[in-house]
Amino acid sequence: MTAKLRLLIPQLLVLGGVIALGADLVHNTLANLARQGIATGFGYLDRQASFGIGEGLIAYSPADTYGRALLVGLLNTIEVAILGCVLATILGVAVGIARLASNWLVRTLAGAYVEAVRNVPLLLQLFLWWNVFRIVPPPPRGAWRILPGFFLSNRGLTIPLPSLAGGWHWDVPHLAGFNFVGGHTMSPEFAALLVGLVIYTAAFIGEIVRAGIAGVPRGQSEAAMSLGLKPWPILALVILPQARRIIIPPLIGEYLALTKNSSLAVAIGFPDLMSITNTTLNQTGQAIEAIALMMAVYLGLSLTTSLALNLYNARIAARER
């Protein structure tokens, strides 16, 4: 009995301390909120937002609620995260393989890219890209035509989109007056965020891929070479399937990092979850609810991704026995 008590007492003391601290914080908070006349509770989500949002995946107007505004922001965050992860993976795998190429120039250039990008803060790179996309291209009237239907102007990147309205056809943008009509325009903010995140994260993914490939025992590639297989089939059929197991866990970590880094959108004016939460709490003053909600969402995204990783790992472990 005494041994158990000895273990129990410090735990209860710590728990008690944490609870006491929590109670004190709550008490102070309620007092301060009352003093400043700030409401509590999530009722504000149903109030009218009264601010505009530049771009989003669903329809929104300032007459909509804060709740809907936050949903727009969340969808923007998810859009950037998914596109970013896909593109960063493609670029990252290419960079990782390039780092192990037999061609010295390719290897060195890939290495220079990784070092340059990893040692400079992401926010700085985002600011750079944002200025580039905003300032460098000409106005829509003189926009650069990259490909038929693809235009780069200081309003952003305008691309054609497939459209179902009135039969299956391509909605190709064309110049009407001072701006483009049709197609879809990605704002400079969106382009800067996406390009910046992809280039930054791809450098880290490149290192992960390189370490994974290098982690496959040399005997494997030697055996494949002895059988007469050529370099690319060796990479695809023998090396990468084995490297995959080493690569996946840290790769998922990078996806998480990219998703969290997308919150830097608030610094360049892209309306993601963080930005809209910022606007909301500035207007309603209900900082606690707004921030708590936002943290809960990011936490949810993180935990979901971790869960997916654990499931994948379990499946791989079961299959390879």
Out of 20, 29, 146, 310, the only residue in the binding site for another protein (CB under 8 A) is: 29
Name the phi and psi angles at 80, rounded to 5.
Answer: -60, -40
Nearer CB in complex with another protein: 179/242: 242
Out of 148, 162, 166, 219, the only residue in the binding site for another protein (CB under 8 A) is: 219
Nearer CB in complex with another protein: 209/216: 216
Task: Give Cα separations from 43 to 40, 48, 59, 121, 291 (angstroms).
Answer: 8, 11, 22, 38, 15
> What is the separation of C-alpha 252 from the centre of its chain, rounded to a whole number of angstroms?
12
The site string for another protein over 225-264 (x = CB under 8 A, - otherwise) reads xxxxxx--x---xx--xx-----------------xx-xx
Nearer CB in complex with another protein: 47/118: 118
Nearer CB in complex with another protein: 17/62: 17
Q: Name 186's Cβ contacts closer than 8 Å, sequence gap at least 6.
A: 156, 157, 158, 159, 194
Task: Confirm or reject binding of residue 283 to another protein (CB under 8 A).
Answer: no
Task: Confirm or reject binding of residue 86 to another protein (CB under 8 A).
Answer: no
Task: Confirm or reject binding of residue 154 to another protein (CB under 8 A).
Answer: no
Q: How far is the CB of 145 from another protein (least distance, A)?
A: 22
Q: How far is the CB of 252 from another protein (least distance, A)?
A: 13
Out of 123, 176, 181, 311, the only residue in the binding site for another protein (CB under 8 A) is: 123
Burial of 126 (0-12, 13-18, 19+ CB in 10 A): buried
Structure tokens at 157: 């990147």
Out of 135, 147, 164, 318, the only residue in the binding site for another protein (CB under 8 A) is: 135
Out of 131, 138, 308, 312, the only residue in the binding site for another protein (CB under 8 A) is: 131
Q: Name 64's Cβ contacts closer than 8 Å, sequence gap at least 6.
A: 48, 49
Task: Give Cα separations from 286 to 204, 277, 281 (angstroms).
Answer: 37, 10, 5
Position 208: which residue type? Answer: I
- Given the rule CB under 8 A, which of 4-12, 89-97, 151-159, 183-191 is the region that contacts another protein? 4-12
CB 260 within 8 Å of CB 300: no
Task: Give Cα separations from 193 to 26, 133, 158, 183 (angstroms).
Answer: 37, 10, 16, 21
Out of 1, 41, 59, 102, the only residue in the binding site for another protein (CB under 8 A) is: 102
Q: Which residues between 172 and 201 bind another protein (CB under 8 A)? A: none
Q: Which residues between 299 and 318 bind another protein (CB under 8 A)? A: 299, 301-303
Position 28: which residue type? Answer: N
Q: How far is the CB of 211 from another protein (least distance, A)?
A: 12
- Given the rule CB under 8 A, which of 60-68, 148-156, 157-165, 214-222 is the region that contacts another protein? 214-222
CB 123 within 8 Å of CB 200: no
